[in-house]
Amino acid sequence: MIAENISSDTPLAQAYRMERRMLGWNTPDDYMSYVDPYWKSFEAPNPYAHYMLGFLYIILTICSLIGNGVVVWIFTTTKSLRTPSNMLVVTLAIFDFIQMFKTPVFIVNSFNEGPIFGKLGCQIYGVLGAYGGVGSSATNAAIAFDRYRAIANPMDGKLSKKTVLCIILFIWLYATPWALMPFFEVWGRFVPEGYLTTCTFDYLTDTQETRLFVGAIFFFAFCIPFSVLVFFYSKIVGKVRHHEKVLQDQAKKMNVTSLRSNKDHNETSAEVRIAKVAISLSIFFVLSWGPYAVIALTAAFGDRTILTPFSSMIPACTCKTSCCISPWIYAINHPRYRLELQKRMPWFCVHEPEPETATQKSLETTSTATE
């Protein structure tokens, strides 16, 4: 109503139009072709929305780099933790690192209220995001497989160092096509999304090629790893329940409380704890990347009109939050990690009791045997 009463030639009208800027108002001209017309139909958000997101990402980046840095440091410098299984844990932390290395691009864009690095900045952001996301999902699947092998066949089921190295190489090769194909625009491409301060694969272009790419990356980067997680963790739960039932039935027949020795109890508890760690990390992965899957599938195959720049920024925040939270799951569930963290960084206020000498020796023997 106010705008209708303002002459289009007055300074007040010009100021009013400037306040109602549309998304893409400060995007470089040579980069506008990568901004989907759908986003250009929205008004630019309040500058303070950009600043708040930029400040949030600064906090998330610091927390993630510290958390994942401590994980890599302790797991690689502690002899009892340098096992083949924990090589996968370190790999997962490295993929979290990669995920956060792209945040400086977003932070600078946020305080600029739009993209400042053009196509190259967007491509770097997209490649790091693809490696971090697809690599994390594949690593979580590998951890589930390793935990199942260790629990189902504790004597000789644990993976060797050579096998784990091959799995890690496969994970990198598995993630590479989904990072490099959009980078070189062989299939798909990386484009700005939402507030135009983040980049992801193109899910808005209304072509059959785009829909095929969205469906393919959803299947290979989300569905397959998630199916592997569900399969092996359900096997773990079933195996543990069956084993416990057999022990309880046998103990009743012998009129004893338990058939476990202290050593067997400690080793089995350690395996189950590690499985809980992996399950927790997988849940965080689903919660962080699930929103991206919903947004992309809705844009490619559903009613894209329900999408807004704000809603598309939520997945970008959830996946970064997961990179901050996942390292601390180790401190909660891994006793030897907590013990090392307490020794090296006592100001973290981690209170893990020293294990008994016999138990400690048995754990060290077990760790050495798996190296």
CA end-to-end distance (rounded Å), the chain: 74
The angle subtended at Cα 31 by Cα 27 and Cα 37, nearest 5°, is 75
Mean pLDDT (whole number) for 181-207: 95
Tokens representing 199 are 């980049």
> How far, rounded to the nearest angstrom, does the alpha carbon of residue 154 sit from its chain's CA centroid?
29
Contact 298, 290 (CB under 8 A): no
Cα Rg of the chain, angstroms: 25
- The SS3 of residue 188 is coil
pTM: predicted TM-score of the whole model, two decimal places? 0.83
Helix (H) / strand (E) containing 63: helix 47-77
Q: Which one-letter amino acid corresponds to residue 137?
A: S
Phi, psi angle pair for 96, to nearest 5°: -65, -40
**Cα(79)–Cα(70) distance, integer angstroms:** 15
pLDDT value at position 286? Answer: 81
Q: Is the pLDDT of residue 113 over 80?
A: yes
Q: What is the pLDDT of residues 20-62, one digit of tens each?
A: 789 999 998 878 999 999 999 999 999 999 999 999 999 999 9
Q: What is the pLDDT of residues 58-74, one digit of tens each?
A: 999 998 899 899 999 99
Write the DSSP assignment of 212-247 as a string of letters.
HHHHHHHIIIIIHHHHHHHHHHHHHHHHHHHHHHHH
Biggest alpha carbon–alpha carbon distance for the chain? 97
Write the DSSP assignment of 84-139 as a string of letters.
HHHHHHHHHHHHHHHHHHTHHHHHHHHHHTS-SSHHHHHHHHHHHHHHHHHHHHHH
Q: What is the pLDDT of residues 237-282, one digit of tens each?
A: 777 777 667 767 776 777 666 555 555 555 556 566 666 766 776 7
Domain 26-236+262-370: top CATH class: mainly alpha
pLDDT value at position 365? Answer: 38
Tokens representing 110 are 């946020």
pLDDT value at position 274? Answer: 61
Contact 192, 122 (CB under 8 A): yes
214: number of CA atoms within 13 Å, CB side? 22
Q: Is the pLDDT of residue 209 over 70?
A: yes
Q: Which one-letter amino acid corresponds to residue 2?
A: I
Q: Which one-letter amino acid corresponds to residue 239?
A: K
pLDDT value at position 270? Answer: 55
**Annotated domain spans of the chain:** 26-236+262-370
Selection from 68, 60, 59, 71 nearest residue 97 by Cα: 68
